[in-house]
């Protein structure tokens, strides 16, 4: 797997192709059990997601916890060598709506570690840019109204 995902970087920055190759990340960031540094409340979920590395490579997985600033994504692939990623987050219908919703968001990979409980790679994603300006507001309301907050 290449250690660059130039297409996603271009989409995040809104620039044309031609950015320099992104170097591989040095090491995973935060270890389990370390101090909490998040600025937004997190919520327990079990939502389907698709992680797009580039136009040809996508990985199906699920989100176990999420906030308006980022998510913990479980995948069968180790994406530690990448810096940026695009996610399609499948938000299930609430008890008051009949339709599910797809949120498209670009993010930075903060860490990747193997989760012994799930037997998958857990990747921390910090959200950088939502495709729709309405998605962060929708996500915050949905999480607050229908999901369990992590304390």
The confidence band for 94, taking pLDDT boundaries of 50, 70 and 90, is confident
Residue whose C-alpha is closest to residue 102's, from 138, 66, 126:
138
Structure confidence at residue 36 (pLDDT): 55
In angstroms, the CA 78 to CA 56 distance is 17
pLDDT at 55 exceeding the cut of 90: no
CATH number among 1.10.1510.10, 2.40.10.220, 1.10.10.60, 3.40.50.720, domain 6-15+41-149: 2.40.10.220
pLDDT at 8 over 50: yes
- Count of beta carbons in the 10 Å neighbourhood of residue 36: 7
Residues 60-77: tens digit of each pLDDT: 999 999 999 999 999 999
The predicted model scores a pTM of 0.78
Domain ranges in the chain are 6-15+41-149
């Amino acid at each position: 797997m290449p250690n660059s995902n130039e297409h996603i970087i271009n989409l995040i920055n809104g620039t044309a192709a031609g950015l320099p190759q992104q170097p591989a990340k040095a090491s995973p960031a935060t270890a389990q059990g370390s101090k909490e540094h998040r600025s937004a409340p997190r919520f327990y979920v079990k939502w389907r997601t698709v992680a797009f590395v580039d136009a040809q490579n996508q990985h199906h997985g699920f989100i176990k916890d999420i906030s308006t600033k980022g998510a913990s994504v479980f995948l069968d692939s180790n994406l530690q060598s990448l810096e940026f990623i695009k996610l399609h987050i499948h938000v299930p219908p609430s008890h008051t709506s009949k339709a599910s919703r797809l949120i498209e968001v670009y993010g930075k990979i903060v860490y990747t570690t193997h989760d012994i409980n799930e037997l998958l790679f857990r990747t921390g994603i910090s959200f950088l840019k939502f495709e729709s300006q309405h998605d962060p507001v929708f996500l915050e309301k949905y999480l607050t109204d229908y999901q369990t907050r992590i304390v």
